[in-house]
Amino acid sequence: MQVPFLNLAAQYQALKDELLPAVEHVLAGGHYILGANVAAFEQEFASHVGVRFAVGVNSGSDALILALRALDIGPGDEVVTTPFTYIAPAEAIYAVGAKIVFADIHSLTFNIHPDQVARRVTARTKAIIPVHLFGLVADLGPILRLAAGRGIDVIEDGAQSLGAKVGGVKTGSFGRLGCFSFYPTKNLGAAGDGGMVVTNDESLARKLRILRAHGIERRYCHDLHGQNSRLDELQAAILRVKLKRLDAWNTRRRDIARRYSQNLSGLPLQLPAPIDDSHVFHVYAIASERRDDLQKFLADHGIPTIIYYPQPLHLQKVYADMGWRPGDFPVAEEISRKILPLPIYPEMTDEQIDYVTSTICQFHKEGRC
């Protein structure tokens, strides 16, 4: 059996009859930038997250940059984030000229550790960017309390966590601003790049709308140093079709995760937890002392995998002149050696899940499966 790591083509086939008319409607209408679809999708997205405002932008990376810019964060400021994630939050901090400050992660959740954040906060800290990694809500309570006590803003990176919630409250709505990505592989993926910034703050929403469109509120009047970062109509039309499915897809992802964890229990592996509404399983990642051998064994049995993330950010070449050394963030370093994401997508069948887990059992020479 072959189990692809992702299968976006299967999702397209299932939605084709709705996607093609939606795309056709945009093309035939001739209005491609900031039209009715973007406006409607922003409203539908805001209501899905449970916030007042959503501003469609060009990517999740731009969402983070624009969030920092909307808060006037720049040179001389510090922003705390995690070293174990996709590079976008660190890139965004660097892009606005602020200082990247990493805080180590929790070994079980892989999310930024509030105690480590507290150690890294200084008088210059202007924002904290927790990432809800792999779809699991970060430990926000202590971070929000710490931030509130010091006048620091929290910008949630919800690129991987759309729909994850705690006490009925969804990621993106806890902080001053929430950022999302519609990169095609995300739980809600476009057919290209796209992103969103959400907030309950009306003046910030207005500023974000100006910043994303060359600093313009009235045509050809440039009031702020803006940029071009607009979500386009085609992507918005596609995302509107898919948003209606998101809750069902996230439920299916949790079901897959539950089946994985049941089948793998008892093996010498660290399994993700919890499996409840606080996790939307953008990634189902196990941790193994024998990760590289296990990955090869799976590949040899028709199950290719991709490691997120094989090297923590503080050890990336691009940051070689920042002074970070191996050992600075030991938990992030250890997890990057052990982490192994398994295939997960709503269209995955139970047979495929069982094949993956029985292959992992076989690797561990477990006769039971």
Ligand X SMILES: Cc1ncc(COP(=O)(O)O)c(C=O)c1O
Residues 6+ apart with CB under 8 A from 160: 131, 132, 133, 134, 135, 181, 186, 187, 280, 282, 283
The stretch near ligand X (CB under 6 A) out of 29-37, 56-64, 215-223, 335-343 is: 56-64
Supply 346's token pair.
């709503």
Candidates 117, 159, 231, 313; binder of ligand X (CB under 6 A) is: 159
Shortest distance, position 82 Cβ to ligand X, whole Å: 9
- Tell me whether residue 85 or residue 173 sits nearer to ligand X (CB atom): 85
Q: Can you list the pairs that 140-144 forms with residues at least 24 positions away whose Cβ atoms lie under 8 Å?
A: 140/166, 140/174, 140/175, 141/114, 142/114, 142/115, 142/117, 142/118, 143/112, 143/114, 143/117, 144/174, 144/175
- List the one residue out of 154, 145, 158 whose CA is nearest residue 73: 154
Query: Does residue 131 interact with ligand X by CB under 6 A?
Result: yes
Rg (CA), the chain: 21
DSSP 51-86: -SEEEEES-HHHHHHHHHHHTT--TT-EEEE-SSS-
Q: How many residues bind ligand X (CB under 6 A)?
A: 15
The number of residues making up the chain comes to 369
- Tell me whether residue 131 or residue 246 sits nearer to ligand X (CB atom): 131
Candidates 183, 260, 281, 329; binder of ligand X (CB under 6 A) is: 183
- Tell me whether residue 98 or residue 294 sits nearer to ligand X (CB atom): 98
Q: Which residue minimizes CB distance to ligand X?
A: 60
Shortest distance, position 85 Cβ to ligand X, whole Å: 5
Candidates 130, 195, 272, 312; binder of ligand X (CB under 6 A) is: 195
Candidates 139, 157, 233, 333; binder of ligand X (CB under 6 A) is: 157
Dihedral of alpha carbons 79, 81, 87, 89, sign: negative
Candidates 59, 109, 125, 305; binder of ligand X (CB under 6 A) is: 59
Asked whether 21 and 15 are in contact (CB, 8 A), the reply is: no
Q: Left if phi > 0, otherwise alpha if psi is -120 to 50, otherwise beta: which for 134?
A: left
- Tell me whether residue 60 or residue 272 sits nearer to ligand X (CB atom): 60
The stretch near ligand X (CB under 6 A) out of 23-31, 32-40, 59-67, 106-114 is: 59-67
- Tell me whether residue 86 or residue 329 sits nearer to ligand X (CB atom): 86
Asked whether 157 and 185 are in contact (CB, 8 A), the reply is: no
Cα–Cα distance, 88 to 137 (Å, whole number) = 18
Candidates 85, 171, 173, 295; binder of ligand X (CB under 6 A) is: 85
- Tell me whether residue 180 or residue 324 sits nearer to ligand X (CB atom): 180
Backbone φ and ψ for 348, nearest 5 degrees, come out as -65, 140
Shortest distance, position 345 Cβ to ligand X, whole Å: 16
Query: Does residue 88 interact with ligand X by CB under 6 A?
Result: yes
Candidates 160, 199, 263, 357; binder of ligand X (CB under 6 A) is: 160
Cα–Cα distance, 257 to 252 (Å, whole number) = 9
Residue 191, SS3? coil
Shortest distance, position 267 Cβ to ligand X, whole Å: 28
- List the one residue out of 157, 139, 145 whose CA is nearest residue 59: 157
Binding mask 4-43 for ligand X (x = CB under 6 A): ----------------------------------------
Site for ligand X in 231-290 (CB under 6 A): none
Q: Where along the sequence are the contacts to ligand X (CB under 6 A)?
A: 59-61, 85-86, 88-89, 131, 157, 159-160, 181, 183, 193, 195
